[in-house]
């Protein structure tokens, strides 16, 4: 059942943790709201799960590309105002088991002590996005987890909140431009503008030109949506 998303200034949170399967997912999915959190004086920390070694059609698997993309992340984070990031450096798009870092992921969570976590949907089309969810669930299964905000990149979500990012859009575009290896391969600037322009229609306001949408819910409710089939699929691909 569809419920019209509520227009809010930004989710309430002072310590924010962003889970980004790839360097640039955080910009595409929630770059505007990151700017809003920073402007409000909130602390924003990003965790990157993959190293970016396959993120350009001119490269096959190249360690130099991974180094370049980390440097691009530092530039884009500076543009958005993110002061701290963690990198797990898994190879892009493989069936590699990420559970080896679940204790480290748990330590990061406990150290940051977030009020809110942003992450892509557990049913996302991209394997790395689903694995991000599985790892996070495994890492935090023994502790109480704060509320979550699901953001969209490759897979549309059914949102319950919408954020006006019209004033932050220029900053968001500058951040994605800093990921030069990516915009050389795919027109992510147009991708972002089109997605956020479309989402602005949900605000029902002529003053909202660009918007980001999210599905905000408790971690307990979110993790309960993981189906046995999805976990079985994950287990099969870890062998």
Provide the CB-side half-sphere exposure for 235 (13 A, CA).
6
- Give the three-state DSSP class for 2: coil
Residue 239 scores a pLDDT above 60: no
Beta bridge partners of 18: 46, 118
- Selection from 66-70, 109-113, 125-129 with the highest mean pLDDT: 109-113
- How many Å apart are CA 51 and CA 53, to the nearest integer? 6
Domains along the sequence of the chain with CATH: 13-233 (3.40.50.10320)
Rounded-to-integer distance, Cα 117 and Cα 34, Å: 12
CB 148 within 8 A of CB 177: no
Residues 73/78/81/86 CA torsion (nearest 10 deg): 40
Over residues 36-74, the pLDDT tens digits come to 999 999 999 999 999 987 755 554 556 688 899 999 999
- Residues 173-206 have pLDDT tens digits of 999 999 999 998 889 999 999 999 999 999 988 9
Q: Return the pLDDT at 53.
A: 78
């Amino acid at each position: 059942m569809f419920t019209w998303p509520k227009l809010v200034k930004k989710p309430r949170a002072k310590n924010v943790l962003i889970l980004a399967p790839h360097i640039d997912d955080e910009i595409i999915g929630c770059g505007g709201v990151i700017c809003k959190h920073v402007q409000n004086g909130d602390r924003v920390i990003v965790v990157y799960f993959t190293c970016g070694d396959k993120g350009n059609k001119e490269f096959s698997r190249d360690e130099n590309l991974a180094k370049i993309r980390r440097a691009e992340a530092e530039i884009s984070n500076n543009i958005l105002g993110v002061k701290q990031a963690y990198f797990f450096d898994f190879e892009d798009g493989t069936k590699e088991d990420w559970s080896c870092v679940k204790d480290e992921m748990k330590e990061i969570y406990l150290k940051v002590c977030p009020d809110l976590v942003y992450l892509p949907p557990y049913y996302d089309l991209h394997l790395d996005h689903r694995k991000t969810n599985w790892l996070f669930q495994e890492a935090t299964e023994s502790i109480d987890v704060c509320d979550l905000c699901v953001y969209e990149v490759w897979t549309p979500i059914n949102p319950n909140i919408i954020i006006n990012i019209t004033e932050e859009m220029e900053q968001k575009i500058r951040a994605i431009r800093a990921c030069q290896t990516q915009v050389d391969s795919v027109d992510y600037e147009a991708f972002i503008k089109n997605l956020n322009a479309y989402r602005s229609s949900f605000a029902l306001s002529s003053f909202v030109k660009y918007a980001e949408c999210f599905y905000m819910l408790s971690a307990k409710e979110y993790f309960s949506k993981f189906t046995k089939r999805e976990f079985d699929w994950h287990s099969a691909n870890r062998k």
